[in-house]
Structure 1
Amino acid sequence: MKTIKLEMFKQMLIAGSKALELESDYINNLNVFPVPDGDTGSNMKTTANGAISSILNDTINNFAILAKTYSRGLLMNARGNSGVILSQIFRGFFEKLATDSQEVSIQEIQAAFVNAKEHAYNSVSTPIEGTILTIIRVISEEIVNEEFETANELFDFAVAIGQDTLEKTPDMLPALKEAGVVDSGGYGLVCLLKGMSDQLSGRFDESVLVSNKNSNKAADLNNFIGFNNEPEEGFGYCSEIIMSLNKKITPDAPEKHYFNIESYKRELSKFGDSMVVVQDDDLVKVHIHTTRPHKLLQVSQKYGEFDKVKFENMTNQFYENLQRRGINYKEYNSETKREFKQKIVVTVPSSKFKKRILSEYGIEQVIVTEEDGTPSIQDFVNKINQANATHVIIITDDSNLVLAAEQATKIVAENGVIASVVAGNNAFQALLAISYFDERSEFKANVKSMNKAIKKSHSALVSTAAKSVNYTHITVTEGESISIINKQVVASNKEEFSVLKRTIDLLISVSKHKAICYIFYGINANLEDVKQIEKYVSEKYGLICDIEFTGQKLYQYYIGVQ
């Protein structure tokens, strides 16, 4: 076939997502480090499946709608760097297919692959070859120079080029060669494209496909930009609606008024604040704080009817939160609270870290990754919205979360929120960054001081090797205790205490000014080793050793020297 029909393309996307899901566990194991934290497959699967959920309805009747719906579904469900880059690849891909037509040509698909590469490379500040970026780049460069008789040939060619390039990624990225693996993100992209290609050519097993008749628009309302289900602080009612424009509650009801979003915002601003209004075609989402929630319904009903309505009494929640913190609300200066314009959103691995951050710093917008999973762009957007501030600093505890956080800052900027990302690589760095926050300082000064603190810090992670790897500088055996500094394995030994000593020796040797050694140990740490390492640090280096049980699962220890 020289063109692909709309319904077939939808089934191709579904097949691609299913193929990716079937390989997700294998992709997780394509980890450069011998640490059981590989989540690329899970992140890409969740990203792709989220987009599929958004297109499973009968209202998609041309490629323009499919392009917009699928691209937005990917973006708002994107998790991890791999998920974000995947969303940008398909955003660029679908830009060239977004027409009112119900079919696309070979030439349009070729142009789509080229545009996919452009968007992917523009989504990262420093593109690294040997990754998913290389896969889409080489496919785009090769595919544009070929002539195809059918669309089947085109997709088979794209998969072949992708697989060939994937096998070469270890030669492009030394870390992959040392670990003896190919790039996990690139593998995921090839899986998705192969599923699409197999569906187009009739090779994919249709029994694993989901039906596109089993969903409806209402199923996706909770994924609408900015909607969240968590309580906020303040006075009055936290009010949220999703409204369908021009919809009538009864057939004989009066016609609705013409809707202009700017005029609508002006109407709402007369009785509320902390307002966010987003329009997507005939859907309008509103978030507003008001003491008169009935006014929101009264004004809005002139333009449409409601698909979802939510009111929460923030005054009750506000006083309850104050009481939990031991604050007498009668003596609480609410005006000072309202004038505070900078807030922090932070990711941490465990609930113990969350409790520490809340008790020491009063930060409530915390994402616990081991409990909540890898946060999507939508998760970050929700937390920023809940912070209810004009300026928000997102602090990550994992470099794999940075791209999603950065995309979230772009989305909230459309609503006037200024947000910046402070990229920490572990929980110690996240806590360190928080400690440098000064509410009296300018926003940019806070971001700068946090980044500077992280850059000057020295920290390590200790875990158990999930596989055996021969690096040029060290040999790792599965089951041994290992430590990682600056994304490099620096110690490996069957004796955990030996690894701890080696790690601390290295950290202290490169630290110019050291006074305290911080050790945050998890549920799998050896308690006897914890006691011994405190004695070792004190006797050998004369440093204070701040040890705390933080309950994380993946890493036995986070260690930092300051």
Structure 2
Amino acid sequence: YIYEGFMESLTGEKVPSAEKVISQADVTEIAHQENYHNVSHSIATEDIEFGYCTEIMVKLGEGETVTDTFDYDTFRNHLNEIGDSLLVVADDEIVKVHVHTEYPGEVMNYGQKFGSLMKIKVDNMRMQHDAVLEKADAPAKKLEKIPYGVIAVAAGEGVHALFKSMGVSTIINGGQTMNPSTEDILKAIESTNAEKTIILPNNKNIFMAADQAAEVSDADVVVVASKTISQGLAAMLAFNESVDLETNKANMTAELENVVSGQITNAVRDTVIDGLAITKDDFMGIVDGKILTADKDRKAATIETLKKMITDDSEIVTIIFGEDSDEKESKEIAAVIEAEYDFLEVEVQEGNQPVYSYLLSVE
């Protein structure tokens, strides 16, 4: 196809090409071939003539061992005599070499005649070949399905760790501005390899992809419609491996109503929303999808947002700080809330999440 493209560009005329029609059976056979197995067995390890894949990079004219002036053809012809699969790329300052040889030391010593060695890499291809053969001959292991799998969409290493600690099997890295596709979710369902699977989207923008994945998957899958990370974490409190899928979905969905979710993030432009004047780069407090506060000071915006989330029935406040905030400020915020609301238990967690300086929840 590449050469046909060259020819069409040069002549301006379309080049006729032969077409091969293959059946679905052909496609299936090709898809199930273990090609690496077939290729690896076509040669015995002892038949490999040059056993070391050797790469060097030489800084020309540098070093105490320089004795010769570099000439590309002379250099290449010499290496060609002690190996094969030779590739030599050079400019006025550097020469890069890739060669299969039985004597990697000779390649290095020869390179040092023209300059200093900047990089050296040697791989034993006989050992690599044996390893491939061993893998190819090993019987395929069929992984047993786990009884239950929970998939959560989340961003930030700390948030991932929180979900894992609560029993989530698989994390899809994503969320606001990084919405996974239906295909991404299907791959997660497959890799989870569970008899029953629950998906926590943790963002309403992911609902459609999650629902489509659950619908087309061959596995037994349900979606618990969590809109935020806080809701997803709350839902995991109701997860119970001993009950059936529909019961888990009902119990976890009911738990979503027991948490108020908040986020702190930056405004990207000046605007007015519901009478609230917001200036670009202000820190906005968002509660259950609605912007309620805005302040140039992040700490002040977070405290004010939490106050709007807390009621007399509240019991637990969780503050998850992101990649652009820190534990010190988080604990200062927690101290203010604890001093004003002595009936609350306040927890601070590291989330490392992007976009949101703080993820807040009140239960």
Q: TM-score, normalised by structure 1?
A: 0.39
Distance 2:235 2:140 in 1: 30
Check if 1:352 corresponds to 2:158: yes
Give the counterpart letter for 1:342 in structure 2: Y
Aligned partner of 2:206 in structure 1 is 401
Asked if the contact 2:153–2:175 (Cα under 8 Å) also holds between the matched residues in 1, the reply is no
Question: How far off is 1:387 after superposition?
Answer: 1.8
Identity %: 19
Check if 1:515 corresponds to 2:321: no
Aligned length: 242
Give the counterpart letter for 1:503 in structure 2: T
Aligned partner of 1:381 in structure 2 is 186
Show CA shifts across 1:500-547 (max 9, x none): 1211111112x62x2221000001125543122111121111222110
Asked if the contact 2:331–2:348 (Cα under 8 Å) also holds between the matched residues in 1, the reply is no
Cα distance change, pair 312–389 in 1 and its aligned pair in 2 (3 A): farther
Check if 1:491 corresponds to 2:293: yes
Matched residue SS, 2:150? strand
Larger radius of gyration between Structure 1 and Structure 2: 2
Aligned partner of 2:306 in structure 1 is 504
Asked if the contact 2:222–2:245 (Cα under 8 Å) also holds between the matched residues in 1, the reply is no
Matched residue SS, 1:393? strand
Asked if the contact 1:350–1:371 (Cα under 8 Å) also holds between the matched residues in 2, the reply is no
Q: Pairwise mapping of residues 357-506 of structure 1 onto structure 2 (< 5 A)?
A: 357-358=163-164, 360-369=165-174, 373-412=178-217, 415=218, 417-506=219-308
Asked if the contact 1:496–1:529 (Cα under 8 Å) also holds between the matched residues in 2, the reply is no
Cα distance change, pair 531–549 in 1 and its aligned pair in 2 (3 A): same
Give the counterpart letter for 1:443 in structure 2: L
Asked if the contact 1:395–1:422 (Cα under 8 Å) also holds between the matched residues in 2, the reply is yes
Matched residue SS, 2:299? helix
Question: How far off is 1:355 after superposition?
Answer: 2.5
Give the root-mean-square deviation of aligned CA atoms: 3.3
Cα distance change, pair 311–536 in 1 and its aligned pair in 2 (3 A): farther
Any unmatched runs of 5+ in structure 1? 1-212, 214-242, 248-281, 288-292, 295-309, 319-336
Asked if the contact 1:351–1:368 (Cα under 8 Å) also holds between the matched residues in 2, the reply is no
Aligned partner of 1:206 in structure 2 is none
Aligned partner of 1:552 in structure 2 is 353
Aligned partner of 1:540 in structure 2 is 340
Aligned partner of 1:525 in structure 2 is 325
Give the counterpart letter for 1:555 in structure 2: Y
Aligned partner of 1:332 in structure 2 is none
Distance 1:312 1:464 in 2: 54
Show CA shifts across 1:251-272 (max 9, x none): xxxxxxxxxxxxxxxxxxxxxx
Show CA shifts across 1:197-219 (max 9, x none): xxxxxxxxxxxxxxxx9xxxxxx
Q: Higher strand share goes to which structure?
A: 2
Distance 1:349 1:421 in 2: 19
Question: How far off is 1:557 after superposition?
Answer: 0.5
Matched residue SS, 2:352? coil
Moved over 2 A (4+): 243-247, 282-287, 310-316, 355-358, 361-364, 370-374, 526-529
Cα distance change, pair 389–364 in 1 and its aligned pair in 2 (3 A): closer
Distance 1:481 1:314 in 2: 54
Distance 2:169 2:357 in 1: 25
Question: How far off is 1:373 after superposition?
Answer: 4.0
Give the counterpart letter for 1:350 in structure 2: G
Show CA shifts across 1:412-452 (max 9, x none): 1xx2x221111222211111112211001121111111111
Any unmatched runs of 5+ in structure 2? 1-14, 16-21, 39-135
Matched residue SS, 2:252? helix
Show CA shifts across 1:31-64 (max 9, x none): xxxxxxxxxxxxxxxxxxxxxxxxxxxxxxxxxx
Cα distance change, pair 402–314 in 1 and its aligned pair in 2 (3 A): farther
Q: Higher helix share goes to which structure?
A: 1
Distance 2:139 2:207 in 1: 34
Asked if the contact 1:483–1:499 (Cα under 8 Å) also holds between the matched residues in 2, the reply is yes
Q: Pairwise mapping of residues 7-406 of structure 1 onto structure 2 (< 5 A)?
A: 245-247=24-26, 283=28, 340-358=146-164, 360-369=165-174, 373-406=178-211
Asked if the contact 2:265–2:283 (Cα under 8 Å) also holds between the matched residues in 1, the reply is yes
Matched residue SS, 2:285? strand
Distance 2:154 2:215 in 1: 22
Matched residue SS, 1:410? helix
Distance 1:429 1:498 in 2: 24
Cα distance change, pair 388–314 in 1 and its aligned pair in 2 (3 A): farther
Question: How far off is 1:342 after superposition?
Answer: 2.3
Cα distance change, pair 458–418 in 1 and its aligned pair in 2 (3 A): same
Cα distance change, pair 393–479 in 1 and its aligned pair in 2 (3 A): same
Cα distance change, pair 536–378 in 1 and its aligned pair in 2 (3 A): same
Question: How far off is 1:553 after superposition?
Answer: 1.5
